[in-house]
Amino acid sequence: MKNPIHDTLKAGRPSIGSWLNLGSPLAAEVMASSGFDWLAVDAEHTAYDMELIAHTIRAIEARGAIPLVRSWDHDPVTIARLLDVGAWGLVFPHISTPEQAAKVAHAMRYPPLGSRSIGSARCLTITPDYRKIANDLVLCIPQIEDMDGIENAEAIVKTEGVDIGFLGPGDLAMSMGVEPGHPDHEAALQSFRESCIRGGKPSGIPVVDGAAAHRRIQEGFQFIDLINDMHLLKTAASHELSEARGQ
């Protein structure tokens, strides 16, 4: 049993997913049924508790997508619980150094590669051989969100156990004191992508729409976060209401 995200990226193809911010398993099921490769539960910025995360993961799995979770911190206990509930990969916000990357990657793997504890948990229902294959199955995805992370990006993605480098463009722009799209901001994004190439790992980026996704894929980004469920709902609702009012 393999993680299809890993296989897709290893083959040089883009993997397109989306973020879940509505806190709704039904929304997750609808998104998964639309054909996204993966969906990431945003436990950093949305009011998900562990039970709701578990239900959302079930909804994602039910429609054939791969469930990921963005963790709210770097604590090994948090990491273990999110993996135990069934996440196939974790995104870690605000990774700025290879030492931080090494800490979370180590916490994600069972011994002898890491320090993840063994327990009776939902993850064991994924496959009877889960404990034997988990170290290869789960994806460690550090998210770089400041200039320290940009400068350390190559070392971060080269860290043992890191699978994908991922950007946080919004927080990066704020940390730089510029708006997204500023020439300095765009230069930082491209510097990150080039660092991932040198580090031998795929690079990822959030985008606001399909056209932006296509453009970033053409540039060489592979792991694409296409909008989120909340933004899609708001955009579609606003558009249809404007149409109805003839605006």
Tens-place pLDDT, residues 121-169: 999 999 999 999 999 999 999 999 999 999 999 999 999 999 999 999 9
In whole angstroms, what is the distance from residue 135 CA to residue 112 CA?
A: 10
% of the chain beyond a pLDDT of 70: 100
Catalytic residues: 45
Q: The domain 4-244: what is its CATH number?
A: 3.20.20.60
Contact criterion met (CB below 8 Å) for 161 and 109: yes
pLDDT of residue 119: 87
Q: Is 218 exposed, middle or buried (0-12, 13-18, 19+ CB in 10 A)?
A: exposed
pLDDT of residue 46: 93
Q: Is 83 exposed, middle or buried (0-12, 13-18, 19+ CB in 10 A)?
A: buried
pLDDT of residue 247: 85
Give pLDDT < 50 ranges for the chain: none
Contact criterion met (CB below 8 Å) for 215 and 173: no
Q: Is 86 left (phi over 0), alpha (psi -120 to 50) or beta?
A: left
Find, among 244, 207, 229, the residue nearest to 46 by Cα: 229
In whole angstroms, what is the distance from residue 20 CA to residue 68 CA?
A: 10
Q: Output the CA–CA distances (angstroms, integers) from residue 52 to 73, 88, 125, 225, in the order listed.
A: 18, 16, 18, 22
In whole angstroms, what is the distance from residue 29 CA to residue 62 CA?
A: 7
pLDDT of residue 238: 96
